[in-house]
Structures are given as structure tokens and as C-alpha cells.
């Protein structure tokens, strides 16, 4: 397994719309293994393939708490089937927008359909952090970042700071 570089905003590659995957095969499972390793190393709780420069509809996630055994989850070609009318606010972060956390409002629950690590079709009801995280990751597949849910002023302030931080590191 390989730890890959995570792309950070405002890199235009994060704006790409990810393509559906034709087949869950060993090559795709290698990509998912690399993504999980990259996510654990970051550390984070979710990662979309486009964040490592691969615009395919693939997401990995692990919401296990510290001290609990790992609980990796894999979502290929995920679709949202329904969302609740009730919304919740969660303070979100993003490995592609390092060191910024802001409140984002999203549906509290959703039902999704996806292919799993074996390529089996699955449906799942999501609530709590799982619902927030899957919606955040599915936004990545459409080229949307959590900062796109914020005001234009807040977003441009964050992007300015990110560009400055990148310049200082270069
Ligand atoms: O970049 C990403 O898409 C991953 C992101 C997922 C996420 C976090 C919070 C709300 C919605 C989606 C992260 O993992 S940010 C880092 C983070 O939340 C975290 C890091 C270490 C321990 C616990 C959480
Ligand atoms: Zn993110």
C-alpha cells in the first residue's frame, strides 16, 4: 500500500467531476487500499479519490473512535436515494482545506446505494457523522468543497490564507 499526496485547495483538480467506475477489480481495490492508508496517515475520517488526483467515484471512510478496532468502509459509484427534511449543523474539516473548520448545514439523514469493496450492490441508511461525512465526500465527487457551502467572503478569506501558506512552504 502507498501513501499518496493529498491535493489542497485551490488546486483546480479538486473541481473535476469524478467519473463512475466500470468494474470493481483488483486494480480498483489497490486504489482503495492506497486511499485508506493515505486517509489514516493524514489523519482523517474520509477521503474521495479525486483528493489524490484520481477523478473516479470512489470514497473510503473509517468512523471508528480512538481505541476501537479499525472499521474501513468503501463506497464505489455512490448515489443518494433520499434525504431527510431535518437538517443538522456540523463543524466540518477537509484534508484538502487543511487547518480550517467551519459549520455546514446538511440533511440529518440520507439513504444511499453504492458498490462495496467486493463490487456488491448495497443500500444503507445513514445518520449522525456517517450522514454528514458521506454527503461531504459525495460533494468531492461533484467538484464541491465544504467551503463552497460558506459565504463568498469566508471562502475567499480561507483560499487567500491557503495560497499564502502554500507560498511560504514552497
Ligand atoms: O477531506 C476529507 O474529505 C476528509 C474529512 C472528512 C470530514 C470531516 C468532518 C466532517 C465531514 C467530513 C476529514 O477527515 S477532516 C479531519 C477530521 O475530521 C479528523 C481528523 C482526525 C481525527 C478525527 C477527525
Ligand atoms: Zn473533504
* Pairing of the two strands 58-62 and 46-48: antiparallel
Q: Which of 6, 39, 44, 62 to mutate to test the pocket of ligand 1 (most atoms within 8 A of CB)?
A: 44
Give tens-digit pLDDT for 80-103: 999 999 999 999 999 999 999 999
* Grid coordinates given for 66: 480512538
Cis, peptide link before residue 43, omega less than 30° from 0: yes
- List the Cα angle 82/123/62 in 5-degree steps: 100
The answer for residues whose C-beta is within 8 angstroms of residue 22's C-beta and 6 or more apart is none
Q: Which of 5, 6, 45, 147 to mutate to test the pocket of ligand 1 (most atoms within 8 A of CB)?
A: 45
Give tens-digit pLDDT for 119-153: 999 999 999 999 999 999 999 999 999 999 999 99
Claim: this prediction has a pTM higher than 0.95: yes
Active site residue 168: no
Cis, peptide link before residue 10, omega less than 30° from 0: yes
Amino acid at each position: 500500500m502507498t501513501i499518496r499526496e493529498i491535493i489542497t485547495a485551490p488546486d483546480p483538480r479538486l473541481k473535476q467531476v469524478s467519473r463512475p467506475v466500470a468494474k470493481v477489480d483488483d486494480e480498483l481495490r489497490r486504489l482503495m487500499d492506497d486511499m485508506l492508508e493515505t486517509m489514516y496517515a493524514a489523519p482523517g475520517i474520509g477521503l474521495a479519490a479525486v483528493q489524490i488526483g484520481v477523478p473516479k467515484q470512489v470514497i473510503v471512510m473509517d468512523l471508528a473512535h480512538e481505541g476501537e478496532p479499525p472499521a474501513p468502509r468503501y463506497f464505489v459509484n455512490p448515489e443518494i436515494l433520499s434525504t431527510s427534511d431535518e437538517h443538522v449543523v456540523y463543524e466540518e474539516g477537509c484534508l484538502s482545506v487543511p487547518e480550517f473548520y467551519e459549520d455546514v448545514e446538511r440533511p440529518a439523514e440520507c439513504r444511499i446505494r453504492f458498490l462495496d469493496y467486493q463490487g456488491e450492490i448495497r443500500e444503507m441508511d445513514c445518520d449522525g457523522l456517517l450522514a454528514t461525512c458521506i454527503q461531504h465526500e459525495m460533494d468531492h465527487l461533484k467538484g464541491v468543497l465544504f467551503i463552497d457551502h460558506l459565504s463568498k467572503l469566508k471562502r475567499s478569506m480561507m483560499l487567500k490564507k491557503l495560497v499564502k501558506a502554500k507560498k511560504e512552504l514552497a
